[in-house]
Amino acid sequence: MRLGVLDVGSNTVHLLVMDAHPGARPLPAHSHKAELRLAELLDADGAIGAHGVERLVTIIGDALHTAEEKGCEEVLPFATSAIRDASNADAVLRRVKEETGVGLQVLTGEEEARLTFLAARRWFGWSAGKLLLLDIGGGSLEVAYGMDEEPDAAVSLPLGAGRLTAGWLPGDPPDPADVKALRRHVRAEIARTVGEFARFGKPDHVVASSKTFKQLARLAGAPGSSEGLYVQRELSRTSLESWVPKLAVMTAEQRSGLPGVSEGRAAQLLAGALVAEAAMDLFGVVELEICPWALREGVILRRLDHLPEA
């Protein structure tokens, strides 16, 4: 069957169309995305402004039209931290429902972590043993750990690259004092969760998903996207630590000229790198592997798990 996953994230609204069947690998058929940056559109009261809501409604309408054109039998719509944390979330959801007919399922941070972990487990398989997963989105950082498809521990922290850039790094290039303050804040937030994971022992394999980790791995010399999904891509803490001070003195325009860094994500890359560096350091990760699958694939896999058998 052809399914669409409509992901209203902190950076983009992304419709991923996939051909999916129980017991088979979901195959991407079409991708439709629009940048919205909801995490950066919150006002002083934490609400999404009228202009942001108008754009959201329009973009969702366009995505639904695309899903229909591509023959989707079902669209699975969900929203993550940008709407979850907005002070006017209920009003935004009502407006979307009234004008588009879409009832967005707002995932909790723990649900995000668990579904992303499911995608990573299915990608790497049982032979990967105990997995530690890291995922940096626009609004939050997800961490999950476990041996099975359901993680033993899963947390979500408000350490997304977009959120932190908007709140902590106003300069371009950023003020060194702001970078230092953000680094201290990120490490304090992550350190509070380390003990919850340490009691389960050392992971056998550490993996990371999300655009931020993919871009950082590319900077460190990993193969580009043109080489396909199945090429192994890794990121070492040593390489990342060498890149952080370089990114800290660059403007967003200069970062956008780096290999694998898109113009739309360049401004957020430093904040994402600070979170990635802190997570790898505090969790004792020397090297991790990039997982091509993430939250959207996890949503589809969970949906397939609940289809009735033929």
The token pair at 210 is 């999300």
pLDDT for position 308: 65
- 28 with 60, same domain? yes
- 137 with 278, same domain? yes
Strand duo 287-290 + 234-236: pairing: antiparallel
- 64 with 170, same domain? no
pLDDT for position 306: 84
Question: How far apart are alpha carbons 28 and 17 in whole angstroms?
Answer: 6
Domain count, the chain: 2
In a domain, 307, yes or no: no
Distances 92 to 38, 52, 89, 294 between C-alpha atoms, Å: 12, 10, 5, 26
In a domain, 161, yes or no: yes
In a domain, 145, yes or no: yes
- 169 with 224, same domain? yes
- 119 with 44, same domain? no
pLDDT for position 310: 47
Whether omega before 173 lies within 30 degrees of 0, making that bond cis, reads yes
- 135 with 253, same domain? yes
pLDDT for position 254: 97
Of 81, 25, 5, 35, the closest CA to residue 299 belongs to 5
pLDDT digits (tens, 9 = 90+) for 267-308: 999 999 999 999 999 999 999 999 999 999 999 999 999 876
pLDDT for position 216: 98
- 159 with 95, same domain? no
- 162 with 85, same domain? no
Query: What length does the chain have?
Result: 310
- 254 with 184, same domain? yes
In a domain, 220, yes or no: yes
- Among residues 82, 106, 130, the one where a domain terminates is 106
- 44 with 178, same domain? no
Contact 213, 294 (CB under 8 A): no
The token pair at 61 is 């309408």
Residue numbers in the chain where pLDDT is lower than 50: 310
CATH number, domain at 271? 3.30.420.150
CATH number, domain at 35? 3.30.420.40
- Among residues 81, 106, 131, the one where a domain terminates is 106
In a domain, 75, yes or no: yes
In a domain, 305, yes or no: no
pLDDT for position 309: 58
Question: How far apart are alpha carbons 279 and 143 in whole angstroms?
Answer: 9
- 169 with 221, same domain? yes
Phi, psi of 37 (to 5 degrees): 55, 55
- 29 with 83, same domain? yes
pLDDT for position 246: 98
Question: How far apart are alpha carbons 22 and 304 in whole angstroms?
Answer: 5
In a domain, 310, yes or no: no
Question: How far apart are alpha carbons 96 and 78 in whole angstroms?
Answer: 12
Question: Residue 102 is part of which domain span?
Answer: 2-106
- Among residues 83, 106, 129, the one where a domain terminates is 106
DSSP annotation of 223: P
In a domain, 308, yes or no: no
SS3 1: coil
